[in-house]
Amino acid sequence: MLYIVDSADTSFIKKMMDKYEILGVTTNPSIITKENKEYIPLLQELDTLLTGKDLHVQLVDETYEGMVAEANKLRKIIKTNLHIKIPVSDAGFKAIRRLSNDGFSVTATAICTVNQGIMAAINGAEYLAVYVNRISNSGLDGNSVIKDIKDTLVRLNLTTKVVGASYKSVHQVTESIRNGVDQVTVGKDLFEKLFYSDITDKSIKQFTKDFNENYSEEEGK
Domain locations in the chain as residue ranges: 2-196
pLDDT at 133: 97
End-to-end CA distance of the chain: 48
For residue range 180-208, what is the model confidence (pLDDT) as tens digits? Answer: 999 999 999 999 999 998 899 899 898 88
d(CA 212, CA 39): 52
d(CA 116, CA 87): 10
pLDDT at 215: 86
Out of 14, 19, 37, 85, the active site residue is: 85
d(CA 176, CA 182): 9
Distances (CA, A) of 24 to 5, 47, 168: 6, 10, 20
| Catalytic annotation present for 73 | no
Q: Flag residues of the chain having pLDDT under 50.
A: 221
d(CA 102, CA 107): 14
d(CA 177, CA 147): 10
pLDDT at 189: 94
Model-level pTM? 0.92
Tell me the backbone φ, ψ of residue 112, rounded to 5 degrees: -130, 0
pLDDT at 197: 87
- The CATH topology of domain 2-196 is TIM Barrel (3.20.20)
